[in-house]
Amino acid sequence: MTRIACLLLTNELQAHAALLQVALAHSPRVEDAGAGCIYLDASGLQSLFGDDARLAERLRDAAFAVGLAIRVGVAASRLGALAAARLGAGVTVVEPGGDAASLATAPLALLTLSEPLATRLSRWGLRTLGELAALPTAGLFERAGAEGVQAQRLARGEDPRPLASWRPVPAFEESVECEWGLETLEPVVERLSELATQLCGRLGARGLAADGFEWVCRLAGGCAHEGALTPAVPLTEAAAVTGLLRLALEARPPRGIVEGLTLRARPTRAGAVQESLTDPSRPSPRFLAATMNRLVALVGSDRIGAPALLDSHRPDAVGLGAYASPSPRRGEGRVRAPVLALRRLRPPAPAAVTLASGRPVAMRSSRLAGRIVAGVGPWRSSGEWWTTQPWLQDEWDVELADGTLCRLAHDGSAWHIAGIYD
């Protein structure tokens, strides 16, 4: 016999997480319904806590002990328990088999319905769950479809869906106190390495990886030195984490004697992909993460990544996305087309261009200079005139006397060299 208890916070601003912990202390199966509402599986708890009324009172008292005011309803279905909690006073228990009767007077708004169905039921003049439950099922299916029938089953106290079990997110955090203060970086890294080993072991046991780390160095005098790093790929190897921590601390060492250390990991689901024996080699996450961090220190985080084409016609509209060493695509590995490459000049080089009959005949800039022997254009493009940064550009493909092919551009006020064909 299924019994479900609903715990409803009287004030939704109260601590929802604390209520989840109260529920989890009484039943291993708890569903977080959000908005201050929690369901727990009360089946089989009689031998532990007594009958439903005693269990409900115990839940209310446990919540009160942590400073939460709640209402409790116990019934055979979630909707029955919710109605009992919401409409009852304090603690309400619906006897087995009494869900339909108790729901009969409850308002239809207790159901979470789609907008069209709610509108349709409202037009039919239905106000209570009992009125919905009394409709002929076949006719309801013809007019409201499967969703209507499902709503009717809930209104009749039938709830076949099992609880969506909620599990607390484990805290991946390790700390160590140092008996003697650490004055140099090396012992600090050693302690952090030990913490990283413990964390990675716990993550690995749960099939998780970490995509972020935070550390706190408690310094003598009460100050704290904090930092965080985000590896290029989720990590589970302590050696790789240690390498990254070492790099980060070398770049920004703690300013004082370290008396305690805390390392936190942000868990994420590790990709469980079986690599194929025939796949090409890829950089291992460990080496790639260390290399990426060194490259970021060298060139800056905004200058490294996978090139990405932006959804814009603006010239040179490109960005940098995260590079994560993706799995290779299966392809024939043959060149699709021999495409002439354009080498961009960033920023575009200003140029002095001489015109004859509206066409460029000579140009001079810090990068290129010479007579123009052939050229085509202008190719006009413009866009984003609806924003505060509209752009307009006339482009010319020209050949200089020395054979250089380049793209000239005129943005309405000045000429510049956009790139060189190579």
The distance of closest approach from Cβ of residue 366 to another protein in the complex, given in angstroms and rounded to an integer, is 12
Phi, psi of 9 (to 5 degrees): -70, 135
Phi and psi based region of residue 384 (left: phi greater than 0; alpha: psi -120 to 50; beta: remaining): left
Q: Of 17, 277, 298, 356, which one interacts with another protein (CB under 8 A)?
A: 298
User: Which of these ranges, 33-41, 190-198, 295-303, 349-357, lies near another protein under the rule CB under 8 A?
Assistant: 295-303
Tell me 368's DSSP state.
-
Q: Is 256 within 8 Å of 220 (Cβ atoms)?
A: yes
Query: Residues 378, 383, 389, 394: what is their CA dihedral angle, to the nearest 10 degrees?
Result: 0
336's tokens: 């699709």
Give the residue with the Cβ less far from another protein, 164 or 374. 374
Give the residue with the Cβ less far from another protein, 74 or 241. 241
- Integer CA distances (angstroms), 298 to 205, 228, 284, 294, in order: 35, 18, 21, 6
Phi, psi of 268 (to 5 degrees): -145, 160
Give the residue with the Cβ less far from another protein, 122 or 291. 291
Q: Identify residues 382-401 at the interface with another protein (CB under 8 A).
A: 397, 399
Q: Is 59 within 8 Å of 22 (Cβ atoms)?
A: yes
The distance of closest approach from Cβ of residue 349 to another protein in the complex, given in angstroms and rounded to an integer, is 11
Query: Residues 283, 286, 291, 297: what is their CA dihedral angle, to the nearest 10 degrees?
Result: 150
The two beta strands, 369-383 and 359-365, are: antiparallel
The distance of closest approach from Cβ of residue 52 to another protein in the complex, given in angstroms and rounded to an integer, is 56
Task: Count interface residues toward another protein (CB under 8 A).
Answer: 61
Q: Which residue type does 395 have?
A: E
The distance of closest approach from Cβ of residue 213 to another protein in the complex, given in angstroms and rounded to an integer, is 21
Tell me 17's DSSP state.
H
Does 349 bind another protein (CB under 8 A)? Our answer is: no
The distance of closest approach from Cβ of residue 166 to another protein in the complex, given in angstroms and rounded to an integer, is 35
Q: Residue 103: which H helix or E strand, with range?
A: helix 99-103
Q: Residue 372: which H helix or E strand, with range?
A: strand 369-383
Peptide bond preceding 378 in cis form (omega within 30 of 0): yes
Give the residue with the Cβ less far from another protein, 206 or 294. 294
The distance of closest approach from Cβ of residue 408 to another protein in the complex, given in angstroms and rounded to an integer, is 12
The distance of closest approach from Cβ of residue 42 to another protein in the complex, given in angstroms and rounded to an integer, is 50
Does 356 bind another protein (CB under 8 A)? Our answer is: no
Give the residue with the Cβ less far from another protein, 216 or 398. 398
The distance of closest approach from Cβ of residue 177 to another protein in the complex, given in angstroms and rounded to an integer, is 37
Phi, psi of 386 (to 5 degrees): -85, 0
Per-residue x/- track, 301-340, another protein (CB under 8 A)? --xxxxxxx------x-x-xx-x-xx-xxxxxxxxxxxxx
The distance of closest approach from Cβ of residue 254 to another protein in the complex, given in angstroms and rounded to an integer, is 26
The distance of closest approach from Cβ of residue 316 to another protein in the complex, given in angstroms and rounded to an integer, is 7
Give the residue with the Cβ less far from another protein, 25 or 376. 376
367's tokens: 């990068």
Q: Is 373 within 8 Å of 401 (Cβ atoms)?
A: yes
DSSP secondary structure letters along 196-237: HHHHHHHHHHTTEEEEEEEEEEEETTS-EEEEEE--SS-B--
380's tokens: 């006009």
Give the residue with the Cβ less far from another protein, 396 or 415. 396
Q: Of 47, 281, 366, 413, which one interacts with another protein (CB under 8 A)?
A: 281
The distance of closest approach from Cβ of residue 333 to another protein in the complex, given in angstroms and rounded to an integer, is 3
Q: Residue 191: which H helix or E strand, with range?
A: helix 185-205
353's tokens: 């261009």
Q: Identify residues 360-379 at the interface with another protein (CB under 8 A).
A: 373-376
Q: Of 117, 214, 405, 411, which one interacts with another protein (CB under 8 A)?
A: 405
Q: Which residue type does 64 have?
A: F
Give the residue with the Cβ less far from another protein, 221 or 333. 333
Give the residue with the Cβ less far from another protein, 64 or 379. 379
Q: Residue 399: which H helix or E strand, with range?
A: strand 391-400
User: Which of these ranges, 53-61, 239-247, 296-304, 381-389, lies near another protein under the rule CB under 8 A?
Assistant: 296-304
Does 278 bind another protein (CB under 8 A)? Our answer is: yes
Q: Of 299, 352, 355, 414, which one interacts with another protein (CB under 8 A)?
A: 299
Binding site for another protein (CB under 8 A): 278, 280-284, 287-288, 290-291, 294-295, 298-299, 303-309, 316, 318, 320-321, 323, 325-326, 328-346, 373-376, 397, 399, 403-406, 419-422
